[in-house]
Amino acid sequence: MWFRTESGRQIKGNTITNLRKLAKPPEAIMIVLDMALILMKRRIDPIRIDYNLDEPFYVPSKTEILRLLNFSGLLSTLLTIHKIQSYHAINKEVIPIKDKVQKAENSLRKASRKLARAERELERTEIGLAKCQHDFDAAMQTKQTYQSDYDALLKRRDDANTLISGLTGEKIRWNEQNKVFEQSIEKLIGNTIIVTAFLSYCGPFNQDFRQRMINEWQKQIQQRTIPFSDNFDIIEQLNDEATIGEWNLQGLPNDDLSIQNGIIATSNYRYPLLIDPQLQGKSWIKNMERDNDILITTFNSKMFRQQLEDSISLGRPLLIEDVDEELDPILDHILEKHYVKIGLTLRVKVGDREVDVNHTFRLYITTKLANPTYSPEICARVSVIDFTVTQRGLEDQLLSLVIANERAELERERVTLARETTKNKRMLKELEENLLIKLTSIEGSVLDDPSLVEVLNANKRIATEVKEKVSIAEDTKMKISAAREEYRPVAVRGSIIYFLMSEIA
């Protein structure tokens, strides 16, 4: 367009004057002027196409254009046309953009509506998903609960089977023991009378006199129709094989008198006073209390009182050795157990001082006198025990010494075997006691305590191993005993010679 040319953009007032002078204005100017005619609502010639031109174009209205050139407002009209043309040119570029923007906005609105619908659908879906997730979690929790219950039932079933199989082996033995316990309960009063009398009165006497006293008590009880055990054995009533085996390993002879002495020394309410000319009782006490840090002293020791107070307050065993027929009066309150309770603490008077009493304190008194005479007051305060060696006890000791010299490896094997046998029997007894305690302490069903099955399985496994060891040990013990018996005559002769010399002296 002409308005786009440099001359069109520089149109001024003298431009119109110059146009008037032209006889035939350029074709482009004529077209612009036609536009001015249309804008000014002037008459224009009918539109017709001029085909004489290089390119066919309509013929402008020349007559009216010539009149228009003389119009004074032509310049402003042309400027308006210029602006309109500029607007048109710009609008030609803007309209497609607006159309695109409109289409984009329409697409955006459609997309927004779709998005809104999708979001609403998504919200509904999420709500449904949340509900499904909640239902799923609830179902999984229910499943887990059922699974836990199922696993618990399976475990209870397995535990029940384990208990049944484990306790079935104990049923026969426990039924037999139950019968024995029922009989023991029936005969408890008579047995208790004999045991109490034995602990109280039999300590100072030898084996024969003790048996005579027990027989006399049994006759008296029988006359009063008090039931007691037919085959009454004081050792079986007051101790077990495991403890006796430990005592034998600690140096206590294996004859009945020595075992009875050990029972009286450890079971009596009163502190023991051992008549021990051969020192075998003192040796046994030292070995038995070695792990408890026993303190050994005499009445003549300068530190006696301090040692006594320390033993009482610290709970250490105290052995007072080599006493005569009189005891130090400082022991009176201790031997009579005149304790004073202050709060939760027991105190006893030692001389002019009061000392706290530890419940683990134990007192042993020994004398070398073969036939001492103690006053009734001393006999009432202590438990006098005759630890004089017997022929059978000396015989066993001499046999051990002979074998230790002749066949040392056999004696070492016997001692080791005895130690292991005692340990195994003690373990069996402890396992049984632990199991019974566990069974009696359960509240509710036995299947509710999982530790019971573990204890039972452990007991069963260990008991099986221990029984095998005990069985093997018994066989080995018989072989060792057979080998030891070859040297028995030497021990018998030595024991006879000792007692002959003792009687002659």
pLDDT tens, position by position, 34-45: 666 666 656 655
Neighbours of 288 (CB within 10 A): 21
pLDDT higher at 98 or 383: 383
Whether residues 381 and 452 share a domain: the answer is no
pLDDT over threshold 70, residue 448? no
For 312-388, strand residue ranges (E) read 318-320, 339-342, 345-350, 353-356, 363-367, 383-386
Whether residues 493 and 432 share a domain: the answer is yes
Burial 447-478 (b: 16+ CB within 10 A, else e): bebeebbebbeebbeebeebeebbeebeebbe
**Model pLDDT, residue 46:** 59
Domain boundary pick from 324, 358, 389? 389
Domain boundary pick from 373, 389, 405? 389
Q: Are 318 and 294 in contact (CB under 8 A)?
A: yes
DSSP letters spanning 254-318:
SSHHHHHHHHHHHH-SSPEEEE-TTSHHHHHHHHHTGGGT-EEE-TT-TTHHHHHHHHHHHT--E
The residue behind tokens 């400027």 is 79
Whether residues 348 and 430 share a domain: the answer is no
Q: Is residue 432 included in any domain, yes or no? A: yes
Say how far apart CA 273 and CA 290 lie, in whole Å: 19
Q: Is residue 127 included in any domain, yes or no? A: no
**Model pLDDT, residue 3:** 42
* 16-20, 271-275, 349-353, range with greatest mean pLDDT: 271-275
Burial of residue 132 (number of CB atoms within 10 Å: 0-12, 13-18, 19+)? exposed
**Model pLDDT, residue 9:** 46
Say how far apart CA 457 and CA 159 lie, in whole Å: 10
CATH code of the domain in which 313 resides: 3.40.50.300
**229-238, 315-324, 330-339: segment of lowest average pLDDT:** 229-238
Quickly count helices (H) and strands (E) in the chain. Answer: 18, 10
Q: Are 318 and 331 in contact (CB under 8 A)?
A: no
pLDDT higher at 486 or 159: 486
Q: Is residue 315 included in any domain, yes or no? A: yes
* 29-43, 349-363, 393-407, 457-471, range with greatest mean pLDDT: 349-363
Whether residues 384 and 466 share a domain: the answer is no
Whether residues 404 and 449 share a domain: the answer is yes
Q: Is residue 84 included in any domain, yes or no? A: no
**Model pLDDT, residue 8:** 46
Whether residues 414 and 486 share a domain: the answer is yes
Whether residues 37 and 50 share a domain: the answer is yes
Say how far apart CA 109 and CA 117 lie, in whole Å: 12
Q: pLDDT grade, residue 364 (50/70/90)?
A: very high
Q: Is residue 374 included in any domain, yes or no? A: yes
* 80-89, 145-154, 436-445, 452-461, range with greatest mean pLDDT: 145-154
pLDDT over threshold 60, residue 270? yes
Whether residues 406 and 383 share a domain: the answer is no
Q: Is residue 208 included in any domain, yes or no? A: no
Quote the mean pLDDT of the chain.
80
Q: pLDDT grade, residue 331 (50/70/90)?
A: very high
pLDDT higher at 163 or 250: 250
Domain of residue 412: give its range: 390-505
Say how far apart CA 308 and CA 355 lie, in whole Å: 10
- What number is the average pLDDT over the span 262-278? 91
SS3 state at 10: coil
Closest residue by Cα to residue 456 from 472, 437, 470: 437
**Model pLDDT, residue 5:** 45
Whether residues 376 and 401 share a domain: the answer is no
pLDDT higher at 226 or 87: 226
**Model pLDDT, residue 264:** 93
Q: Among the residues of 338-487, which ranges form H helices?
A: 376-381, 391-406, 408-440, 450-485
pLDDT over threshold 80, residue 174? no
Say how far apart CA 495 and CA 346 lie, in whole Å: 48
Q: Is residue 273 included in any domain, yes or no? A: yes
Say how far apart CA 258 and CA 389 lie, in whole Å: 8
- What number is the average pLDDT over the span 102-116? 86
Instruction: Give the tens place of pLDDT for each residue, 201-219.
Output: 999 988 888 989 999 999 9
Q: Are 426 and 246 in contact (CB under 8 A)?
A: yes
**Model pLDDT, residue 79:** 63
Whether residues 394 and 352 share a domain: the answer is no
**20-24, 48-52, 353-357: segment of lowest average pLDDT:** 48-52
pLDDT over threshold 50, residue 1? no
For the chain, the domain total comes to 3
Q: Is residue 344 included in any domain, yes or no? A: yes
Say how far apart CA 357 and CA 340 lie, in whole Å: 10
Percent of the chain with pLDDT over 70: 78
Cα Rg for the chain, rounded, in angstroms? Answer: 62
**Model pLDDT, residue 16:** 59
Whether residues 273 and 385 share a domain: the answer is yes
pLDDT over threshold 90, residue 363? yes
Whether residues 295 and 394 share a domain: the answer is no
Domain boundary pick from 389, 420, 438? 389
- What number is the average pLDDT over the span 339-360? 89
